[in-house]
């Protein structure tokens, strides 16, 4: 067969593939139209948008059919997960009942786990965003209803970028989620630890697993990524099988990876607190917390003591206090305070009024129900 014959055959095959691709898109459009019909019927029957049993059955059927057709079932699984999610969004648009929740991308992050936890029992569309700043901006501009962002870790401390942005944002903290974080060593296939040459993960995850890494992988080079999920995705896409990532079981499952070791974090009580933000905070519940940012007029002896005295005099318990540079001039600080009580509680309201006489500015970042620590991550 001549070179010309091969070129002609290549054109013919590609044309056929294009026709098949077009058919796939047409079938997806037909499926969307049926979802719209389904949405109206389910609304009349007062059924929820998400039917977990039905979704599980659809996935199982697609995987079974994939095997029959000689396809990789995990590949088909990923496609149908996206199709089902698109179907939920379409149904929500028809019914007008979906709450938009932004979280830190990509899929498989601990922030997504927190968002899923928050969305339990509600009709929600989860929207991944690349940065904490973009999530806060989306909430401010009302492009989404809710944002979920990490604000504090029990091992590594506060997420400073979150504090800095919220201090100057119109978005309000309306809730919090405190969840245990479990880190796992993940690779493409089962290999011995001594063969691993590189480990990828978010800087905090690497720091939280430093003892395990020093003892079990002293020879491996460590590389930072924007998130734990991105690390898992990166390792999944690399041809090198002697590399690993630190991430969640959810991310490992999402990308079809192998878990080499579970629970490798140094502290088994490792927890992360996520802030739930919205255009407005919440009304009092009786079990509330309030976050405020205090900008002192000037650095002078006793200024912070005078501020703290306002809480002591009214028997207001502080659950957190820390300082951050104001980014105005060297030596100028913002003090972030979490306290028990709602901004509308008389004693809290009175304390804030008095502090405003001492400080240059007091920003109420939000009042919200105090989280219950019984929440757990389904990792």
Residues marked active site are found at 272, 274
Can you tell me the distance from the alpha carbon of 351 to that of 343, in angstroms, rounded to the nearest whole number?
Answer: 10
Q: What is the CA radius of gyration of the chain?
A: 25
Structure tokens at 118: 């928050």
Question: Of all helices (H) and strands (E), which one includes residue 337?
Answer: strand 333-340
- Rounded to an integer, what distance in angstroms lies between the CA atom of residue 267 and that of residue 210? 10
Instruction: Give the strand pairing for 271-278 and 146-153.
Output: antiparallel
Distance separating alpha carbons of residues 296 and 302, to the nearest angstrom:
11
Residues 88 and 106 sit within 8 Å (Cβ to Cβ): no
Beta bridge partners of 364: 292
Candidates 273, 66, 240, 52; CA nearest to 156 is 273
Within 10 angstroms of residue 51's Cβ, the number of other Cβ atoms is 13
Asked whether the bond before 201 is cis by omega within 30 degrees of 0, the reply is no
Report residue 49 as tokens: 């948008």
Are 184 and 259 in contact by the 8 Å Cβ rule? The answer is yes
Q: Hey, what are 360's tokens?
A: 């240059």
Residue that is written with structure tokens 């977990």 in the block: 52
289 within 8 A of 329, measured Cβ to Cβ: no
- Tell me the CA distances in angstroms from 160 to 165, 322, 366, one per residue in order: 9, 11, 17
């Amino acid at each position: 067969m001549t070179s010309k014959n091969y070129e002609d055959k290549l054109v013919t095959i590609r044309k056929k593939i294009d026709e098949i691709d077009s058919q796939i898109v047409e079938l997806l459009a037909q499926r969307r139209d049926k979802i719209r019909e389904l949405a109206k019927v389910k609304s009349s029957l007062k059924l929820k948008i998400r039917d977990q049993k039905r979704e599980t059955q659809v996935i199982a059927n697609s995987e079974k059919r994939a095997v029959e057709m000689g396809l990789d079932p995990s590949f088909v699984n990923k496609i149908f997960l996206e199709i089902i999610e698109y179907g939920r969004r379409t149904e929500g648009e028809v019914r007008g009942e979906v709450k938009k929740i932004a979280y830190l991308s990509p899929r498989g992050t601990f922030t997504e786990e927190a968002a899923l936890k928050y969305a339990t029992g509600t009709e929600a569309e989860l929207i991944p965003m690349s940065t904490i700043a973009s999530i806060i901006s989306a909430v401010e501009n009302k492009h989404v209803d809710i944002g979920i962002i990490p604000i504090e870790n029990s091992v590594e401390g506060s997420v400073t970028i979150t504090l800095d942005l919220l201090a100057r944002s119109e978005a309000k903290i309306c809730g919090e989620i405190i969840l245990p974080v479990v880190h796992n060593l993940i690779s493409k296939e089962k290999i011995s630890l001594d063969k691993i040459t590189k480990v990828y993960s978010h800087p905090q995850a690497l720091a939280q697993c430093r003892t395990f890494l020093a003892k079990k992988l002293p020879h491996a080079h460590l590389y930072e990524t924007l998130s734990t999920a991105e690390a898992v995705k990166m390792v999944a896409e690399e041809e090198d099988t002697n590399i690993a990532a630190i991430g969640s079981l959810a991310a490992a499952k999402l990308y079809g990876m192998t878990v080499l070791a579970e629970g490798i974090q140094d502290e088994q009580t490792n927890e992360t607190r996520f802030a739930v933000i919205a255009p407005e905070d919440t009304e009092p519940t009786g079990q509330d917390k309030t976050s405020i940012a205090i900008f002192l007029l000037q650095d002078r002896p006793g200024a912070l003591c005078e501020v703290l005295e306002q809480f002591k005099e009214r028997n207001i318990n502080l659950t957190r206090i820390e300082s951050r540079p104001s980014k105005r001039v060297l030596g100028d600080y913002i003090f972030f305070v979490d306290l028990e009580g709602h901004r509308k509680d008389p004693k809290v309201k009175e304390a804030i009024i008095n502090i405003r006489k001492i400080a240059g500015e007091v920003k109420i970042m939000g009042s919200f129900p105090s989280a219950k620590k019984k929440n757990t991550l389904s990792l």
